A and B are shown apart, each in its own frame.
Chain A
Amino acid sequence: MALLKLTSPHAHTTQNTGNVMQLVLLATIPGALALTAFFGWGTLINVVIASIVAVGCEATIMHLRKRPVMFYLRDCSALVTAVLLGLALPPLAPWWLVLVGTSFAIVIAKHLYGGLGYNPFNPAMVGYVVLLISFPVQMTSWPAPMPLYPEGTDAPGLWQSLQMVLPFFNESVDAFTAATPLDTFKHNTGLLVEQLYQSDPLYSQADWAGVGWEWANLGFLAGGCFLLYRKVFTWHAPVSMLVALALCSALFYDGGSSVSHGSPVLHLLSGATMLGAFFIVTDPVTSATSNRGRMIYGALVGVLIFIIRSWGSYPDAMAFAVLLMNFAAPLIDNYTLPRTYGHKKPRKATEKATDTKD
């Protein structure tokens, strides 16, 4: 056998990009289960439709770009996008909504920018925002958590759910929709937080921050901790985002008055907070690069979320906040280089003149 000429290092971890993505997928399971437990089959149906669309789009594009299709499908990045989008969309959303959002995410937001690793914006969030702007009604009709269904109403089964989602059945979802905790706060007029918590079963029957929502968020938190433990990402971005969000909400809690924007617990455990913190803000491609940069990035996402939730016209703000910060990430990168061994202080990526040579 002729001896090969290869460059060092010759050893390599067995970890590959596909494994990393699979770990991420695995970590979404607790959150997905909680969502399903409280909001019915809709979430899983979303995820399945989105996955099929995403893999289809990815394969088609790779074929068109004349790349080996299977090789690229194996990195599972399209599946991650699909699953995250599926989880973020309202359960029981019509099939075409998922289709449009997912294909937009994969085709436009990912591949038009050059594919995996080159997209400046998080594809799932791009898909989400496009849908939110284009179809605000469908995008804001969340089903009520099952424990709060009126007496005698059964939760829709798998078949009934499918009939509400797929074409030709035209079963209406309306009977099942209700306001989310963040909606309620947004539209609260004149009630003290305490009164609101007592009057609305969404809170009164919950432990911390809204029936169902709190468990979904805790589920994603658990998944995030698993990923942290497996060192898929570092703590910097998610922790600083959560801390920033908590601090902002504590600052504007206003003692629970009628103009309060909600407690830190409410903000941390409702909406897409935990999904965002551990699965979106940590998206390495579109966030800042260095640990210091990621802390700044995460914190600013947290602040933006709070601002948009409190004073914007949308009840939740994850997607907007993330996309806005995606814009800023390269700038953050320029000023957050780590201090290299042997240097007195960190340099700037924009530095021009150099007084030092090798």
Chain B
Amino acid sequence: MRKIWSLTGGIHPAENKHQSVQSSIGSLPLPDRLTIPLNQHIGAPPKLLVAEGDRVLKGQVLAEPKGFVSAGIHAPTSGIITHISDHPIPHPSGMAARCITLEPDHKEQWIEHRGIDNYREKTPSELLDIIRQSGIVGLGGAGFPSAVKLGPKQPISTLIINATECEPYITADDMLMREHPQDIVDGIKILSFILGDPDEILIGIEDNKPEAFEALKPYLQDTNITLVEFPTRYPSGGEKQLIQILTGKEVPHGGIPADIGIVCQNIGTTYAIQRAIQHGEPLISRITTVTGKACATNRNYQVLIGTPISHLLQNNGFDQSQCPRLIMGGPMMGFTLEELSIPVIKTTNCILAPTAEELPTPPPTQPCIRCGMCAEACPASLLPQQLFWHAQSQNYEKLEAHNLFDCIECGACSYVCPSNIPLVQYYRAAKGEMRKLAQEKINSDRARERFEFNQARKAKEEAEKAAKREARKRAAELARAKKADQEASPGGADTETNSADDIIKAAMARAAAKKASPEEQRAKLERGIVRAESHVNAAQQRLDGLEQDATDKQWEQARAALEDARLRLQNAEQKLAALGAPTDDKLKDATVDTAKSVMDKIQASPREALEKKVSTLKERIAVTEEKLVSADDKTLKTALQNGLKKQQAKLKDAEQQLAETPATADQPNSTPKTEDAASAAIARAQAKAAAQESMSEEEKLKASVESLQNRLKKAQAKLTAAEAEGSEHIDAFRTGVEKLQAKLTAAETQLAEKTQ
């Protein structure tokens, strides 16, 4: 005998399995219509291939898998598609979703299909594709697409077939084993081949199914499959629990069985895979137990997917007046149905119609007396009473520390609680709330990043403004010096210098506005690239980190995010490349000073920009660290730590770049051009000043008035445009216009005085 390990915790609810194993698996007459939900699995909904009014054959694809984690659906019988619309589906919330309604034509006309004679001639991935196309999902529980589960990245040393069926009342797997042992063993061999023939193949079965055990046994001779029987105890059929019982290993927190070299498959799924591979039959029906005292007959049926529950019940003498609640699944983890038109889906293993005496409605809740019976029953070694306590007070931090997310919602704790506390309900609510909060945290992290980025940008603008002021001051000094020169020379006059000064200043301002742009754009783009890169990285990480059982939606979102981030990165890089050489015309009418300063800046820019970046990053890190020290809120702290890590990574990058950038301004390409442009601009500005000097005073005044008028017009146009755009620089434009107006008035009065 193989060693078995014992289940932690666990309970012994009344089994109530005998009622439904009295007769063989039956079949039902075709219902009037089948309602087939589009999405019956965990993952992305499949792509619809049929339309209302189409005639379909039995086994025809109605929808094909879309995305990695997805599964197709097939017509359970031949007939006409009458509707494709929303209809209540089996779901704890009682929600409605997209369903295909099929009216059977009672011909049962199969689509052409054939199985594979020797699957060992195919590759595992070909077989996986058949499984995927056949719409096979985990039939024991949540309905995770089997092809995904059977194609793990990790090497697999143990294949476990779950024949536990630990929930009371349900006997679908039990009957399947009794009636189709050969097919099941064939199915297991197929799984073994797909997984690269693992060293060990175990079938785990509870000791309350001796008939099934005996039925399977003869078929296992001369195979390497071991049938392991262990004591009946709920929830030994949970995947993690079964692994613990059979191997003594535990699936690591946050991991999947494949991480420890194990793949687990439900026995019903194994059978479905055998049908798909060896007979070419997609998953269009399943075995469902119909039981409970409110039904006259209790029995298992091979039920077509999409059969309304009412059809099942009517054929079993259901007395609704006796049945206060109708359960899909077992009494421990099943959920109640409020409508009889809800269809059987791929994961429907049981329809339980108990009378009020059989499963009484829960008595009123009493206070928790901390008796600890729940903790004794918990298979995950949690402290349900503490979880309950903290869930009540919504202390999410404590819930996290008490490993709420390791709760498998088996209900063992609620079952034993003498105070009738609906513990699982509290856990579900708390989990939902915590998931929501986690999402919000991610969002707020993003917002914080954006905010910090804006802060940094503002600081940078501030610094640039200060630099501009400095430049202006210097220009003014220069002008004053010039003025002194002019005063010494004959014909020199105040107004001349004034206007010359004005021109210089204006040109400088204009140039400053423009000069800022290539540099600013470049820096902006560089920042954008850094950001985009980090987005790409984050998206990639998220994608890599997604667990195999993540929903398809998550997969798609992650992939979309990655794509999006990549695109943005590309864009930014292209733009930067386009900007590579700052365009000449932008500098053309710069005046002497500004042109020079632009030249300086451009020459120095890569290194300077990097240095600046490094220092800002350092500052930001310091700030974050300070915040981190003073932060006492956990969420904030983690957020800050994450931010800090990112900043440090950026800093490292920037420092590296800086190290790689030559200290001397050895600018390729752009430098000579810029220099040319700059000297041209200098020459032009000098020419302009000289021309002004040669004019008469009146003429000069007129020219200056004209130029001022022109500039005012331009400035006003810009202001209107800015106002229309709602630009953040409106104020700057406005002051500019006001100043120009003031100057214009001054110049005009002067001119008037002169011409009088």
Residues on A close to B: CB < 8 A? 1-13, 15-17, 19-20, 71, 75, 77, 115-118, 231-234, 284-285, 289-291, 333, 337-344, 347-354, 356-358
List of A residues within 8 angstroms of B361 by Cβ: 4, 6
Distance (Å) between the CB of A60 and the closest chain B CB?
Answer: 18
8 A-B pairs with C-beta separation under 8 A: A1-B321, A10-B325, A10-B352, A12-B360, A339-B381, A342-B380, A343-B403, A354-B401
Q: With A and B bound together, what is the CA distance between A15 and B376 in angstroms?
A: 15
- C-alpha gap A263/B414 in the complex (Å): 45
Chain B residue with minimal CB distance to A354?
B400
Q: Quote the shortest CB–CB distance from A159 to chain B (angstroms).
A: 39
B residues in contact with A232, CB < 8 Å = 371
Q: Is A12 a contact of B381 with CB atoms below 8 Å?
A: no
Whether the Cβ atoms of B250 and A352 lie closer than 8 Å is no
**Residues of B participating in the A interface, judged by any CB pair closer than 8 Å:** 8, 13-14, 92, 94, 168, 240, 244, 250-255, 320-321, 323-327, 329, 331-339, 352, 354, 359-364, 366-373, 375-376, 379-383, 385-386, 397-398, 400-403, 405-406, 409, 411-412, 414-416, 418-420, 422, 424-425, 428, 431, 434-435, 438, 634, 637-638, 641
Cα–Cα distance between A354 and B434 once the two chains are bound (Å): 13
Of chain A, the residue at the smallest CB distance from B370 is: A284
Separation of A12 and B423 alpha carbons in the complex (Å): 12
Report chain B residues within 8 Å CB of A348.
Answer: 401
**Complex contact A341–B240 (CB within 8 A):** yes
Interchain CA distance A350-B400 in the complex, whole Å: 10
Cα(A348)–Cα(B398), bound, Å: 9
Residues of A within 8 Å of B254, CB to CB, are 342, 356-358
What is the distance, in angstroms, from B382's C-beta to the closest C-beta of chain A? 6
Q: Which residues of A contact B337 (CB under 8 A)?
A: 3
Residues of B within 8 A of A13 (CB): 415-416, 418
> A232 to B422, alpha carbons, bound, how many Å?
20
B253 touches A12 (CB 8 A): no
Task: Select from chain A the residue with minimum beta-carbon distance to B352.
Answer: A10
Asked if residues A353 and B638 are in contact (CB atoms below 8 Å), the reply is: yes
B496 to chain A, nearest CB (A): 71
Given the known inter-chain contacts A8-B424, A356-B253, please indicate yes or no for A340 contacting B370, CB distance below 8 A.
Answer: no
Using CB atoms, name the residue of chain A closest to B354: A10
| CB atoms of A340 and B332 under 8 A apart | no
For B400, list chain A residues within 8 Å (CB).
354
Q: A9 to chain B: which residues have CB within 8 Å?
A: 331-333, 411-412, 414-415, 424
Considering the chains assembled together, what is the distance between the CA atoms of A275 and B412 in angstroms?
A: 32
User: Which B residues are in CB contact (< 8 Å) with A347?
Assistant: 401-403
Nearest residue (CB) in B for A9 is B411
Verify A285–B336 contact, CB threshold 8 A. Answer: no
Inter-subunit contact B13/A11 (CB<8 Å) = yes
Known contacts A9-B411, A342-B255, A347-B403; can you find 10 more A-B pairs with CB under 8 A? A1-B324, A9-B412, A10-B359, A11-B359, A17-B369, A290-B375, A340-B406, A342-B240, A353-B641, A356-B253
Q: How far in angstroms is the closest Cβ of chain A from B257?
A: 11
Give the docked Cα–Cα distance between A13 and B19 (Å): 21
CA distance A17 to B369 in the complex (A): 8
Q: Is the CB of B8 within 8 A of A4?
A: no
Whether B383 pairs with A289 at a CB distance below 8 angstroms is yes
Residue with the greatest number of chain A CB neighbours at <10 A, chosen from B251, B332, B359, B369: B369
Which 10 A/B pairs are nearest by Cβ-Cβ distance? A9-B411, A117-B367, A358-B405, A342-B253, A11-B331, A10-B331, A341-B380, A340-B403, A4-B325, A284-B370
Give the contacting residue for A20; candidates B252, B376, B409, B418; CB below 8 A. Answer: B418
Q: Which residue of B lies closest to A19 (CB)?
A: B418
With A5-B338, A289-B372, A289-B385 as contacts: A16 and B253 at CB distance below 8 Å: no
Minimum CB–CB distance for B32 against chain A, Å: 22
Which chain B residue shows the least CB distance to A287?
B370
Query: For the complex, what is the distance from the CA of A352 to the CA of B94, rounded to whole Å?
Result: 37
Which residues of chain B come closer than 8 Å to A11, judged between CB atoms? Answer: 13-14, 168, 331-332, 359, 415
Residues of A within 8 A of B414 (CB): 9, 12
Quick check: B336 and A3 within 8 Å, CB to CB?
yes
Contacts of A117 in B (CB 8 A): 367-370
Cα separation A300 to B667 with both chains bound (whole Å): 77
Task: State the CA gap A235–B405 with chains docked (Å).
Answer: 29
Whether the Cβ atoms of A17 and B336 lie closer than 8 Å is: no
Question: Which residue of chain B lies nearest to A5 when distances are taken between CB atoms in the complex?
Answer: B336
A172 to chain B, nearest CB (A): 42
Closest to A20 in B: B418
Chain B residues, Cβ within 8 Å of A1: 320-321, 323-324
Q: How far is the CA of A352 from the CA of B395 in the complex (A)?
A: 12
Q: Which of B338, B367, B380, B434 contacts A340 (CB 8 A)?
A: B380
A115–B253 Cα distance when bound, in Å, is 37
In the complex with contacts A117-B368, A343-B253, A349-B422 CB distance below 8 A: no
Interface centre among B250, B368, B386, B418 (most CB of A within 10 A): B418
Known: A11-B331, A358-B435. A342 touches B250 (CB 8 A): yes
For the complex formed, measure the closest distance between the CB of A295 and the CB atoms of chain B, giving whole angstroms: 13
Q: Which A residue sits closest to B634, measured CB to CB?
A: A352
Contact A290 B383 (CB under 8 A): yes
CB-CB under 8 A from B332, the residues of chain A are 8-11
Residue of chain A at shortest CB distance from B14: A11
Is there an interface contact between B325 and A6, defined as CB atoms closer than 8 Å?
yes
Instruction: Kindly state the separation between the CA atoms of A230 and B287 in the bound complex, as whole angstroms.
Output: 40
Max count, chain B CB within 10 A of own CB: residue among A333, A337, A344: A337
Assess whether A8 is in contact with B406, with CB atoms less than 8 Å apart.
no
- A356 surroundings in chain B (CB, below 8 A): 253-254
Residues of B near A6 (CB, < 8 A) are 325, 336, 361-362
Q: Are A12 and B415 in contact (CB under 8 A)?
A: yes
Assembled-state Cα–Cα distance A109/B253 (Å): 41
What residues on A are CB-neighbors of B244 within 8 Å? 341
Q: How far is the CB of A350 from chain B (nearest CB, A)?
A: 7
Complex-state Cα separation, A17 to B431, whole angstroms: 27
Known: A4-B361, A5-B338. A284 touches B372 (CB 8 A): yes
- By a CB distance below 8 angstroms, the chain B residues around A15 are 416, 418
CA gap between A17 and B422 in the complex, in Å: 14
Closest Cβ–Cβ distance, residue B395 to chain A (whole Å): 10
Are B366's CB and A75's CB within 8 A? yes
A16–B373 alpha-carbon span in the complex (Å) = 11
Residue of A nearest to B419 (CB): A17
Give Cα distance in the complex from A112 to B168, angstroms: 43
Q: How far is the CA of A16 from the CA of B381 in the complex (A)?
A: 23
Complex contact B383–A337 (CB within 8 A): yes
The one of B92, B326, B637 that contacts A352, using a Cβ cutoff of 8 Å: B637
Known interface pairs A8-B411, A16-B419, A289-B385; A341-B406 also in contact (CB < 8 Å): yes
Q: Do the beta carbons of A16 and B366 come within 8 Å of each other?
A: yes
Do the beta carbons of B368 and A16 come within 8 Å of each other? Answer: no
Which of A8, A75, A234, A349 contacts B401 (CB under 8 A)? A349
In whole angstroms, how far apart are the Cα atoms of A310 and B23 in the complex? 72
Closest A residue to B250 by beta carbon equals A342
Q: Are B370 and A349 in contact (CB under 8 A)?
A: no
Measured between beta carbons, the chain B residues less than 8 angstroms from A4 are 324-325, 336, 361
Pairwise interchain contact A351-B324, C-beta atoms closer than 8 A: no
A117 to B424, CA, bound (A): 19
Measured CA separation A199–B383 after assembly (Å): 53
Instruction: Give the shortest distance, in Å, between A26 (CB) and chain B (any CB).
Output: 15
A289 to B14 Cα, complex, angstroms: 28
- CB A293 to nearest CB in B, in angstroms, measures 9
Residue of B nearest to A351 (CB): B401
- A254 CB to closest chain B CB, in angstroms? 38
Alpha-carbon separation in the docked complex, A344 to B250 (Å)? 10
Q: Closest Cβ of chain B: how far from A50's Cβ, in Å?
A: 20
The answer to whether B369 and A12 have CB atoms under 8 Å apart is no
Interchain CB contact under 8 A, A289 and B370: yes
Q: Across the interface, which residues of A come within 8 angstroms of B321, CB to CB?
A: 1
Q: A11-B13, A290-B383 are in contact. Are A16 and B371 (CB under 8 A)?
A: no
